[in-house]
Amino acid sequence: MAVASAESATATDPEQRADAAAVSRAAPSSPATKRPIRDLAAKIAANKYGRRVLYTALAGIVLLAGLLLKGESRPKEFARAYDAPVSNLTKVTFSHDGSLIAAAASSGEVLLWDVITGKRFELEQLTEQPITALASSADGLLAAGAADKEFLAWEIDLPIDGTVAGDALAGSSGVIAAIAFGPKSAAKLEIAVGMSDGTILFLGTSHRLSGRDGHPGGVKTIAYHPFKGWMVSAGVDGRIVWRDTKTRAILKTSNVHEAEISSLAFSNDGKLLASGDWNGGIYIWDAETRTERKRYRQPDAVSKLAFSGGHLVTASWDGLLRFWSLQSATPVATIDTGQPIYDLAVSPGGESIATVSARDQVDLWRVPSF
């Protein structure tokens, strides 16, 4: 099921070095029995269209009970932990409806949990290589990129085990560094895959953008505007490239970052774009005019950022979740998670945040009251 492999790129940033270190450690043994996705199809399909408000209310009750039972001394915003059989989780995302959390490990495992009950489901393991990118779509597709250039996908609302993208990545010498799904409003599903050699591939089409067309140093992150017909990519060279999704033509290139850009995110209403880099630089952009509106700085690298309601939340290697508003130059709230944060995901309703820290669990946090 594997596509043609390519040599792994040299670890040049903190995230890659951390993945390499995790792989070098002795990995825990795999569970004796792996439950194929087809066994979970009925439950996942039943949950998929549950009301978000019901999930939020029930999750709050279950998560508080779990914390009390554990008796752990954690920040008041800590909700619960989802335990995993591996100790190197580095990627995390929510399903589109918020009923599931998915996390991926540098040993190739991709795991699912029911947000409310905490029950863990195991997807078929399709690779033993580090997972370098993880994303979910509005129609139930979970996609991952592996260090050997495999593109892996599971339709978590359909009874199939898993698929790979065949020859879709042939011709690129890089490793998958970013995956982004086109907006739900698009006429057909589009998946953009950013590679460490600067190439951007569009699965399901013949379109391909070389590093010469935008990111000669390598792509690190991609984001589609939720409503408009354009996308944004950023990478090792610190540039942000805005493109028309139909013509692939460059609309604008922004060069304000002084370091490698690690993360991009649009606000839910599509009015703002946020970008963060390895030097702790954070920029807020007017998405319509593509001009800078505000800039912040945190003392350590931005490992991931996302919007939660009207605030921006950033993660860092210093273990802090920071919450920013457009009216303040400093964080309006922080959560000390106690561990370097490799990745974060905000629930679709914006009420909770999931983080991973290369350990054997996903931590769930309640968004502070502002």
Dihedral angle computed from the Cα positions of residues 69, 71, 72 and 75, in that order, rounded to the nearest 10 degrees? 90
Q: Are 181 and 224 in contact (CB under 8 A)?
A: yes
CA-based angle 303:177:234, to the nearest 5? 70
Measure CA 174 to chain center.
Answer: 19
- What tokens were used for 76? 């008041």
pLDDT mean values, one per 10 residues, the chain (370 residues) = 31 45 33 30 32 37 46 84 94 94 94 94 85 91 88 67 48 83 76 90 71 77 93 94 91 94 96 97 96 95 95 96 90 96 96 94 94
In this predicted model, what pLDDT tens digit does every residue of 128-145 receive, in sequence order?
999 999 999 888 889 999
CA distances (Å), origin 141, targets 127, 191, 257, 293: 18, 11, 32, 34
Structural domains of the chain ordered from first start: 14-23+34-366 (2.130.10.10)
Query: φ, ψ for residue 65 (rounded to 5)?
Result: -60, -40
Q: How many residues does the chain have?
A: 370
Which is nearest to 148 in space by CA: 126, 123, 176? 176
Q: Give CA–CA dist 34/356, Å, rounded.
A: 22
The residue type of 205 is T
pTM of the model: 0.78
Q: Provide the pLDDT for residue 9.
A: 34
Q: Provide the pLDDT for residue 112.
A: 93
In this predicted model, what pLDDT tens digit does every residue of 55-109 receive, in sequence order?
333 444 444 444 444 445 789 999 999 999 998 999 999 998 899 999 999 999 9
